[in-house]
Structure 1
Amino acid sequence: MTGTSGYVVVTAVILAGILLVTAGMTARRLIAPRAATPAKLTTYESGVDPVGVGWAQSQIRYVGFAFLYVVFAVDAVYLFPWALVVRHPNLGLRSLVEIGVFIAILVVGLVHAARRGLLRWD
């Protein structure tokens, strides 16, 4: 792309995005029901009718599950792309050391999770 043709493409993509969002919002406004029914005005909490006060404490065990998710999600996000380019001739010892450090950090996280009992199935 030379000259202003790159700007024309970017402008066209931005305008197409704005047009799609506007079309979607207009269609929703035309199709969606507007009547305020009692069911529509109630609070919805995961399919269960709310009971009691509006504020409640969360259990701390969910933090452990979030920690495990981050460990495994980060593992997948970085290891799969690295595995695809590992045979590239320009990647040498430096890349191997970097991925070794990355895997070591993941292992430390998994050991920590195992010591806290987060990997037990019972």
Structure 2
Amino acid sequence: MFTSNRLLRPTHRTAEKMLTYECGVDPVGEGWAQSHVRYYVYAYLYVIFAVDAVFLFPWATVFGGLGWISVGEMGVFIGFIAVGLVYAWRKGVLTWT
């Protein structure tokens, strides 16, 4: 299938077809751009809390049949997350300046 597709398709190479396409904007300048490390920290914190939500939602849906031991374990889990959030807040990671 791939070979027949390659043999049967029309091929007209033009300068516009060979140009790099990036969201409808013509490429100008170099491809190198620096980003501040702050954006990576925010992305990292987002991933951490998104993974936490992945663990919290299924636990919350079956909360009725788990018992108090499970509630304590989830409290410890949320406590670790809270300590990490307070640490990041105290270090000034969450300020946007």
Measure how far apart 1:47 and its partner are: 4.1
What's 1:118 paired with? Answer: 94
Measure how far apart 1:81 and its partner are: 0.5
Bigger proportion of residues as helix: 1
Q: Take 2:10 and 2:71, find their aligned partners in 1: how far apart are those partners?
A: 58
What's 2:61 paired with? Answer: 84
Q: 1:38 to 1:65 in 2, by over 3 A?
A: farther
- Write the deviation string for residues 51-90 of structure 1: whole angstroms up to 9, x where unpaired: 33333333212212212211331232111110011101xx
Task: Tell me the TM-score normalized by structure 2.
Answer: 0.65
Q: For the aligned residues, what is the CA RMSD?
A: 3.1
Q: 1:80 to 1:33 in 2, by over 3 A?
A: farther
SS in 1 for 2:27: coil
Give the share of equivalent positions with the same residue, in percent: 54
Task: Tell me the TM-score normalized by structure 1.
Answer: 0.55
SS in 1 for 2:16: helix
Unaligned ranges ≥5, structure 1: 1-21
Unaligned ranges ≥5, structure 2: none
CA contact (8 A) 2:38 2:93 kept: no
What's 1:12 paired with? Answer: none
